[in-house]
Amino acid sequence: MYTVCYFFRKHVFSVVFYWNIYEGLCITLQVLVVANPANTNALILKEFAPSIPEKNISCLTRLDHNRALGQISERLGVQVSDVKNVIIWGNHSSTQYPDVNHATVTTPAGEKAVRELVADDAWYVTNTVSYDK
């Protein structure tokens, strides 16, 4: 419990400190959270800096999301912008999990489920997220 309390006290203080510095820039400020747990830290920032638009807060997991989109689009021979609804669960680490269960791709024949076009679970784990320590 002490570690968790210390973690939150330490990170909430940092968020509040920097928030006070950048408060006037909220409309154009874009934040990339890089310290793990990046997802949690991004959520803390969102809660303590409500004037920063939600769409302007991202975290390192976005890198993994973009990588997964790129790998899927390359495999299917479509543009990255044609791949939708890929989810990366977890933080930027070796425990993250690419989820394509809801992913779709726009093809000349219409929108199709990614799972329908690539029915290979091992490929998803091996190719959509290759975390480098």
DSSP label at 52? S
Rounded CA-CA distance 106/102 in Å is 13
Catalytic residue numbers read 92
Q: What angle do CA 101, 102, 104 make, to 5 degrees?
A: 115
Long-range contacts of 40-46 (CB under 8 A, 24+ apart): 40/91, 41/11, 41/15, 44/8, 44/11, 44/12, 44/15, 45/15, 45/19
Tokens of 109: 């024949």
